[in-house]
Amino acid sequence: MSLAMRECRRCGHVVFPPRPLCPSCGAWDWKERLAERGVVEAVTSRKDLRLASVRTEAGPVVTAVAPGGALQVGTAVALESREGVGVSGEGVQVRILPLEPAQAPRDV
């Protein structure tokens, strides 16, 4: 279970969602970078949805629909991509699953 991101081969900048040019150095030479985990930085409500902003281990912040239950700032989550239409339009959506406390990395 992971989320595929793009890492610039020239400068190492990681972006999500994918874009044609690196916003850091302007190159367009990418390699795949997988992110498996992240940490919730914010939880907000929009209409009847709860959205979580998650800082991924690869760097970029992604937005995902928060699952029910005890999700709060600082919660470690697993990242998963899924196809479909979601909060930010069509394309690759991000799904998050809270990790058990025992699995949560303590250094993030």
Where along the sequence are the contacts to Zn ion (CB under 5 A)? 8, 10-11, 13, 22, 24-25, 27
Q: Which is nearer to Zn ion, 25 or 108 (CB)?
A: 25
d(CA 64, CA 79): 9
Give CA–CA dist 87/82, Å, rounded. 13
Measure the CA–CA gap between 108 and 67, rounded to whole angstroms: 21
Using DSSP, how many helices (H) and how many strands (E) does the chain show? 0, 8
Nearest approach in angstroms of CB 33 to Zn ion is: 12
Q: How far is the CB of 6 from Zn ion (least distance, A)?
A: 10
**Of residues 22 and 66, the one with the C-beta less far from Zn ion:** 22
Q: Which is nearer to Zn ion, 27 or 61 (CB)?
A: 27
